[in-house]
Amino acid sequence: MVWASEERIEKYVEVTREIHNSCTTYDVHIHPFEIFFNPQGYKQDPDLKGLFSLGNIKYSKPTLKSLKNSLSKQERNLPNMHGSRFLQFFLRRTYFHTGPFVFRALFDLARIDKGLLLPVARGSSSLEQMDLVFQMYSDDKRFCLAGSVPNSIRNKDIKSFLKTLIDKYTIVAVKAHPNLTGIDLKELAGKERIEWILDACSSLNLPLIMHAGRSNHLPGEAGRFAEIENFKNINLRASIPIIIAHGGAYGMSSNEIREKVIPVLRELLETNENLCIDISGLQYEAICQLVGNIEIERILFGSDGLYHDPFVMEMRLLAALDDANLNIEESYTKIVSKNIERRSFRWK
C-alpha cells in the first residue's frame, strides 16, 4: 500500500500524539463481541483483570511495531462464505479474547480516550449478552454501552424496553443492524420498525447508530437490507443524532461508492441536520471518497474494533485526509473529538 510508507506512518503517529495531548478522543463504533455468530463461553482470566477468553490460548498484547507491520500486509476482509466453518473460525479467532483489557491496550496505542460499545441483539429478547457486557465493562470509565432491540420486542414495546436498558445498564445510545436482524428497509414493515426505534430513541434522548451498506457474507437478500438507497424511504428527522455507520459504504465497491453511495449520502445529509456518518471498518480508498465528498463536520471516528484495529483505522483516515489536501491536524481533531462532543452522547 503506497500510502502506508514508514515515513507517512511516523508522521501520522505524531499527529495522534499531539491531538491526544490537547483534547479527549473517541471511538464511536466498537463491538464487545463477534456479532455474526455471537460466541458464548467467555471466562475471566485469573491473572489479568478485564481479559476474557474462549479458551486457553495465551493473549499477546499488541505493540506499536506489530500494528505498523500489519499496515504493510494485505488488508483483511471477511470471507464471502456464509455459515462456513472457515468463516466461523476466522471470526472466533478475531474475538477469541475480548474485554476492557483488550480494548484498553488497543486504545492506548491509538491514543483513544473513550469508546462506545455496540452489542447487536438478534431474535431473542434475552438480556444475557447485555448482562455479560455490563459485567465486563461497567467499572471501566473509558467505555460506554449502547443497547439493541431484539426482533421479539413488539413495536409498541420498544420504548419501554429501551427504558429498561437505560435503568439496568446505563446505555447511552442504540445500535440498529437491519441486515443482521432482518429489517428490510425496502418494505413498509421494515421502514416502520426503524421509525418506531427512532421515535423511542428520540423520546429517551438516545443517539441511534444504524449499520448502512451491504453485508456480502449474509445469504439471500438480507445482506442488502441496509443499502443506503433504502434510507430514503425513512423519516430520519429527529432531535437526536443518527449516525450512518460505515458511511453507507460497507461492502460496496469503489464504483458503487462513487455512483450510488455518495449522491444519496449528500442528499440525506443536506435534508437532515441530525445525520452524520462514521468511517468504521472501511478501507483507505473508501475513506478517501468520503472525506473528499462529505463535509468534515459530519464525519465521526469509529474503528469497528475488533474487526479492525483502531490504530490501523486512524492511519487510513489520516492518510485519506492528507491525500485530500486537507489540514490533517484540524480535520482529524474534528473527526475524532470535536464533532463527537457536539452530539448528545452522555459519556461517563
Q: For residue 62, is it within any domain?
A: yes
Predicted local confidence at residue 72, as pLDDT: 60
pLDDT digits (tens, 9 = 90+) for 120-135: 987 666 788 899 999 9
- Distance from C-alpha of 81 to C-alpha of 78, rounded to nearest angstrom: 8
* CATH value at residue 321: 3.20.20.140
Which residues of the chain are under the pLDDT cut of 70?
1, 38-39, 72-88, 123-125, 344-345, 347-348
pLDDT digits (tens, 9 = 90+) for 203-217: 999 999 999 999 887
DSSP 8-class letter at 158: H
Q: For residue 347, is it within any domain?
A: no
Total tally of structural domains belonging to the chain? 1
Q: For residue 348, is it within any domain?
A: no
- Distance from C-alpha of 17 to C-alpha of 21, rounded to nearest angstrom: 6
Residue 296 is part of which domain span? 2-341
CA angle 47, 49, 54 (to 5 degrees): 80
DSSP 8-class letter at 143: E
Predicted local confidence at residue 36, as pLDDT: 79
Q: For residue 346, is it within any domain?
A: no
Helix or strand or coil: residue 23?
coil
Q: For residue 142, is it within any domain?
A: yes
Q: For residue 87, is it within any domain?
A: yes
Predicted local confidence at residue 281, as pLDDT: 94
In this prediction the pTM is 0.93
Q: For residue 321, is it within any domain?
A: yes
Q: For residue 242, is it within any domain?
A: yes
pLDDT digits (tens, 9 = 90+) for 288-340: 999 999 999 999 999 999 999 999 999 999 999 999 999 999 999 999 999 99
